[in-house]
Amino acid sequence: MELLHSAAIPSKQKLLIVVTISISLFTIIPLLYPFVEDPNFFFKQQHPSQTSIVKLQDSVAATHKSCDIFSGEWVPNPEAPYYTNTTCWAIHEHQNCMRFGRPDTDFIKWKWKPHGCEDDLPVFDPLRFLETVRGKTMAFVGDSVSRNHMQSLICLLSQVEYPVDASVNTSDYFKRWTYETYNFTIAPFWSTHLVKSTEPEPGKTEHSVFDLYLDEADERWTAEIGDFDYVIISSGHWHYRPSVYYENNTIIGCRYCQLPNISDFSMFYGYRKAFRTAFKAILDSETFEGVMYLRTFAPSHFEGGLWNEGGNCLRKGPYQRNETQDDVTMKLHKIQVEEFERAEVEAKRKGKRFRLLDTTQAMWLRPDGHPSRYGHLPEANVSLYNDCVHWCLPGPIDN
């Protein structure tokens, strides 16, 4: 069963499901800085009490044909949030903004209002979601921001149930978690660039060079996707890092590598090639019969400097639509959409299902939703640790 375009699902339910997946995945990928982390951050051995269960209100989905859930604006929502950092234990400490003293709470009191919709989007219903995905499997392919998205979904579902560890291997980067009552399994697959990559030696700086094999997909996730009904892929900020580009096992150029006799390529070249290769791997897979979702680039919001130059993100509310725009973000988004559309043509020919979760606009409008200086203890070195890439939980990705 796919979550979109299924005749077996009533129209209101279909809209609810795509909204659920879209909003719970509303942020994007990687990590620009060194504080990220123990991969084993995900779960602590606790279980929710009955008092932590939050009752959700019923809501009716809009079904107007002109309703575009990916284009709209953020409007006040005094009823939010639907969980807190004390009722959900699946929050990584770097996204636990309230724990580290964020003084304002207005950033959690907004909801996404799409253009052209007759009614508000429905409130996320964890029971309906779990019933819909009963017996299914879902993979999140990406890095720490992809896991940030998955944590958001876990917290929303925690009002009903927490998953248990059902991992088939010992790697903390490739866990599997199952909601036993519903036989629903979710899994994060760590892949910073989606393609085969060799990381710098441990202890190197952020200026150390990655080796990226742009025509070879990362087999750590492509070899596993045959087990999954839904695969959500995303990639982004790791591509900013200095990298040497390989094709056919031969160096063709690099980005900011400062190596002699090697041509300097733009980040956009490597980014486009990585997605083209990732899509091709899915198209060529003989075992994957599910639905592939591309979640588009969700930007960072550093102001006053880069992440390693004291840049910060201290805004208290959303941008207004078209208030500002970042050219690099728009270029990365354009590349993703172009490569998706290119791959979608082949997917239709092969009978495969590719879907686009175009969340870039929505997340660009939320500079207030990042941990900033509240993703660490106050005495930490803020010149290195201001986080304007990940998202607070609860926060905008919950909607």
Could you list the active site residues?
A: 144, 387, 390
Distance CA 264, CA 393 (A): 39
Q: How far apart are CA 3 and CA 111, in angstroms?
A: 22
Cβ neighbours for 134, distance < 8 A, ≥ 6 positions apart: 182, 183, 184
**How many CA within 13 A on the CB side of residue 278?**
32
| Distance between CA atoms of residues 279 and 277, nearest Å | 5
Among 373, 375, 372, 369, which residue's Cα sits nearest to residue 398? 369
Closest C-alpha to 398, from 111, 129, 59, 113: 111
Q: How far apart, in whole angstroms, are the C-alpha atoms of residue 397 and residue 92?
A: 14
Which has the closest alpha carbon to 347: 66, 19, 5, 27?
A: 5
C-alpha to C-alpha distance for 25 and 359, rounded to whole angstroms: 8
Distance CA 207, CA 111 (A): 38
∠ at Cα 152 (149, 158), nearest 5°?
Answer: 145
DSSP assignment of 145-183: HHHHHHHHHHHHHTTT---EE--SSS-TTS--EEETTTT
Bridge partners of 230?
138, 291
Residues contacting 381, CB < 8 A, separation 6+: none
- Angle among Cα 249, 254, 260 to the nearest 5 degrees reads 100
